[in-house]
Amino acid sequence: MELLNFGWNNQTYVFLATLSVVLFGTWGLYGQAKKIWANRSGKSVSVVLISVLSFLYLSFVFYGVEKLSVACITQGVLRTALCVPIMLGLYRFKGFKMKEVILNILMCMVFVCMMFIQQIPLMFLVFNIASAIVAIFLPWEMVKEKSHGVVSMKLLVTSLTSFLFWLWYGIVFRDLIIIGTTTSLSIIFATSIVIWIYYWKKEKISVKV
C-alpha cells in the first residue's frame, strides 16, 4: 500500500517514520533478549505477553503481504526473529507453567487454522486483540514480584514509541484494528514504565540502606 502511494505526501512520511520506528523497536527487543540471557533470569517478564506478541508479530508478516504493506512485513519479520531468543531464555531460566504451554499450543492452532481457511485479516484481529488484553500481565508481573526484575526499560520505551507511531500509522491509513490495539497497548506500556521506575527507585534506596 505504501509503495503504491509513494511520493511527497502524508502517507509516505508516515511510512518512512514508521519504518524507522520498527527498527528502533526491534533494538528494544534485542535489549530484552540480551538482558534475560546476561542475567540468566526471566524475573518479572511475562511469558504470556511475550508468547502472544510472538504470534502477533508473525501475523504482521502475512497481514502485510495481503495489504501490500512493507512496514507491516518488516515489523513482523524482524520482531518475530527476536522473540525467539526471548522465548528460549524464558523457557530456560524461568520455565513455562502448564497454562502457558497450553496457551502457546492454542495460539499455534488458531494460527494454522486461520492460514488454512485464508482468514488473515481475522487472524491479525484476533492476535491484536489478544495482545491488547494480555498486555496487562506486563505491569502485573512487576507488581506481583515487587520488582522490575529483568524487564528492560529499553524495551518499554521503544515499545511505547513504536505503539504511538503505529497509532499514527493506523489513523493515516484508517486501519481500525491497529488504532484500537495500539491505543490500549500505549496506555499499558506507559503505566508499566511508571511502575518500573517506582521499583527501580525502591531497590536503589534499599541497596543504599
Instruction: Please provide the DSSP assignment of 53-82 as one string.
Output: HHHHHHHHHHHHHHHT-HHHHHHHHHHHHH
pLDDT of residue 1: 52
Alpha-carbon span 180 to 95, nearest angstrom: 32
Q: Assess if residue 1 is contained within a domain.
A: no
Which H or E run contains 179? Answer: helix 176-208
* Span between the terminal Cα atoms of the chain, in Å: 57
Cell numbers that stand for 206 in this block: 534499599
Q: Assess if residue 2 is contained within a domain.
A: no
Q: Which residues, including other chains, have CB under 8 Å from residue 57's CB and lie 6 or more apart?
A: 75, 76, 79, 80, 83
Alpha-carbon span 40 to 203, nearest angstrom: 19
Cell numbers that stand for 126 in this block: 484476533
Q: Assess if residue 179 is contained within a domain.
A: yes
pLDDT of residue 158: 92
Q: Which of 178, 122, 58, 10 is nearest to 2 (CA)?
A: 10
CB atoms within 10 A of CB 37: 17
pLDDT of residue 155: 94
pLDDT of residue 139: 96
Q: Assess if residue 4 is contained within a domain.
A: no
Q: Which residues, including other chains, have CB under 8 Å from residue 3's CB and lie 6 or more apart?
A: 68, 70
Cell numbers that stand for 48 in this block: 504470556
pLDDT of residue 137: 96
Q: What is the count of structural domains for the chain? A: 1
Q: Assess if residue 3 is contained within a domain.
A: no
Summarised one tens digit per residue, pLDDT across range 150-196 is 999 999 999 998 888 878 878 877 888 788 888 999 999 999 999 99
Domain containing 98: what range?
A: 10-208
pLDDT of residue 116: 85
Give the residue ranges of the chain where pLDDT is below 70.
1-12, 14, 206-209
State the pTM of this model: 0.86
Phi, psi of 44 (to 5 degrees): 70, 0
Q: Assess if residue 5 is contained within a domain.
A: no
pLDDT of residue 88: 97
Q: Assess if residue 199 is contained within a domain.
A: yes
Strands (E), the chain: none
Residue 151 in contact with residue 41, Cβ under 8 Å? no
